[in-house]
Chain A
C-alpha cells in the first residue's frame, strides 16, 4: 500500500516537474502497441505481461546503469531522447478481437510497432494485420513454430519456438542416456489447442528421428473438470519420461490427479507454460520436486550477470513474482523492438523493419542465456538457446545445456 501510494506521488511530482518539457517531447513520442488477454480465462497472463512491459519501459525511459540496450540515458537517443509510451489492448484470446484491436492500435493510437500476444491463435491474425499495414510485430512469447513460416516480412521473434525447445529436451535425453540413464519410452500429455498440438507434433517427430518410443500420446480438452481417465492411461503406460504441454489450470489438476491415483512418474520434462507459473508451484510444488521444464530464462544467470538479479527485483516489486519464462520473453520483446526503433531513427514501419533485420545484440546484453539476438530471413532468432531448468528445493536451477548449467540433473526425479 505504502509503496503504491509513494509511487503515485512520485509519478505526480515527476509529471509536474516535467510539465514544460513534456510539450516539447510530445512531438517525438514513440508509441508501441501491446496486445494481450486482459479479461477472460487467461487474464492473469495479460496482467503479468503488463508488469513486465512496464519494467522494460522503466529501463528504456529512465536512466539505469545496466549493460542493456537503451538502459543508460533516458528515452531513445536515436530519436532525440523521445520517450516510449505503451498502449495496452485486450484481445480476450479471440483472433477476431486481436485483429480489430491491432487495427485500432495502428490507425487510431498511431503505434509504430506491436508486441504480443500470449495465445498463438491470436498472433496469427495480429501479425497478418501488421503485415498489411507494414508495421513490425514482435511475437514476444508465442512459441508455435508455424508462426514464422508464413512468409511475413514484418514478423519477428527473438525467443525460441517449440521446435527449438523440444530439440533441447531431446538433446538432454541423448546426453543423459550417454551417462547411463534409462530413457527409452516417452508419454506425451498435451492439450487440444494450437500450443499443445504444435508441441506434441514436434515431440512426436523428434522422438521418431532419435529412436525414442512413444508409450502413449494423450490429447485432452483444456480446462477439463477431471483428468482421472487421462492420468490412469499415463499410469498404465508408465513411460520413462512424462512430457506435459499444459497451461496452469490443467497442470495443477494433472499433478494433483497423479498423486491421487498413485502415479509417480520416473521423470517429468515439461513444455513450460503452466510449469513455469508461480501459481502452479504454490498449489502443488511439494509434489514436483525434481520436475524439469524448458525455459528461456533462468535466475541462475544473476550469478554471472548481476543486472539480471536487479532487473528481476524491479519486476518483483511490481508484480510480486520472479521473472518466469513468459515474462522474461515479454521484457526482451519490448527491449529488442525499442532498440531497433532507436537505430531506425524513425517511427516509419519499413525503416524499423530494416533495423530489426539488422539487429545484432550480443547475448550478454540481454537478461537471457541466449547467444545473441539476430533474426534469420523468416524473422526468427535461431541463437536464442533454450535452457532446461529443474525445480529443486523450491527453486529452479539450470541443468542444461552444459555451458549454462550450474548443477547436474537429478535423475530420476525424487
Chain B
C-alpha cells in the first residue's frame, strides 16, 4: 500500500462523505423539527435523480443548471408528502412512532413501484453532462469534478442552512416550533405550515444532492436503497436533529468507509461504518452532536 493509495482513498472518501452529509441533512432537519424519521428518504433521492435525468434527456438541461429546478420540485413534493401523509401520521393517537415508520416505509414501496411503472426498471445515466467524467489531478491525486462540485455544493448548502436557521424569521419560526409546538400556536404561527415548509426544505436538500449524484451515478427505481441506510447512520452518528451533526457525520462516514476498504476486503467496508456508529452511540447515546 503506497502513500499515494492512502491519500487518494482518503480524498475520495472525503468528497463522498460531504455528499453523504448533503443527502442526510434533509433527514436531520425534518427529525429536528418534528421527531419524524422519513423512511422514504432514499426514494426522495431516487425521484430527484430521475427528475434530473428527464430534464437532461428531454430538455437538454445540464444537471448543474437543473439542480435548482430539481430542488424546487422536491420542495413541493416534500410539502405535499407532509400534507397528505405525514400530517396524519404524527396525529396518530396510538403508536405514533410505529405509524411514522410504517407510513413512510409504505410510501417508499409505493414510490419504487410507481417509478418502475412509469420509468421502467431500466438503468439510466446522464451522459455527457458538462462536468461528468471530468477530473482534476493534483500531484497524482485525482479529484473527479462532479464530486468536487458536489462537495462544494454540500459546504455551501450547510453554510446557507446555518444562516437560514439562525438569521431569518422563518428559520426562527422553525426553531421555535421545534422547541415548543404548542407555544408557537399561541403567537399565531401555523404549526402545519411550518412543518410543511420544513418537509419541503428537507426534500429540497435531497433534490440538490440528487442532481449532483445524477452526474456520476446510475439511476433506477431501487437506487435509493444503496444510500438510505448510510443516510440514517450518518444522521444518527451526528446526532438526530443536529444539522451540523449531519455534516460531520457525513465526513466521518466517508472517511471511515475509505479507510475500511484499505484494511479489510472491500466487500466488508460498510462494516467499518456500522462499527463506528455503534461505538459512538455506546459512548454517547445521542450521537456526536445530539442534544444530550
Contact = CB atoms under 8 A, between A and B. Distances in A.
* Chains A and B share a contact (CB less than 8 Å): yes
Interface string A42-82: 11100100000000000000000000000000000000000
B270 A233 contact: no
Contacts of A259: 133, 135
A226 B257 contact: yes
Given A225-B16, A229-B261, A233-B266, A261 B135 contact: yes
B133 A249 contact: no
A109 B184 CA distance: 62
B218 A192 contact: no
Given A249-B220, A283-B127, A283-B218, A229 B9 contact: yes
B189 to A, nearest CB: 38
Interface in B226-275: 226-227, 230, 257-258, 261-262, 265-270
Given A219-B266, A223-B226, A229-B258, A284 B116 contact: no
B106 interface: no
Given A229-B13, A261-B12, A44 B217 contact: no
Nearest to A249: B218
Contact of B2 (A219, A221, A236, A277): A236
A228 interface: yes
Nearest to A37: B121
For chain A, what secondary structure do more than half of its interface residues adopt (helix, strand, loop), or is it mixed?
helix
Interface residues of B, number: 45
A261 B144 contact: yes
A283 B266 contact: no
Contacts of A39: 113, 116, 121
Interface in A251-292: 252-253, 256-257, 259-262, 277, 279-280, 282-284, 287
A128 interface: no
Given A221-B267, A223-B226, A256-B133, A229 B12 contact: yes
Given A221-B266, A261-B142, A282-B127, A41 B5 contact: no
Contacts of A225: 16, 20, 226-227, 230
B144 A260 contact: yes
A219 B264 CA distance: 10
B266 A262 contact: no
Interface string B127-141: 100000101010000
Given A223-B226, A228-B9, A192 B267 contact: yes
B125 interface: yes
Interface in A210-241: 218-221, 223-226, 228-230, 232-233, 236
Contacts of A262: 135, 137, 142
A279 B124 CA distance: 7
Interface of A: 39-44, 47, 192, 218-221, 223-226, 228-230, 232-233, 236, 248-249, 252-253, 256-257, 259-262, 277, 279-280, 282-284, 287
* Top-4 shortest CB links A-B: A229-B261, A283-B125, A260-B144, A228-B12
17 contacts: A41-B222, A44-B123, A220-B267, A224-B269, A225-B16, A225-B227, A228-B8, A228-B12, A232-B8, A232-B12, A236-B1, A236-B5, A260-B147, A261-B12, A261-B135, A261-B144, A282-B127
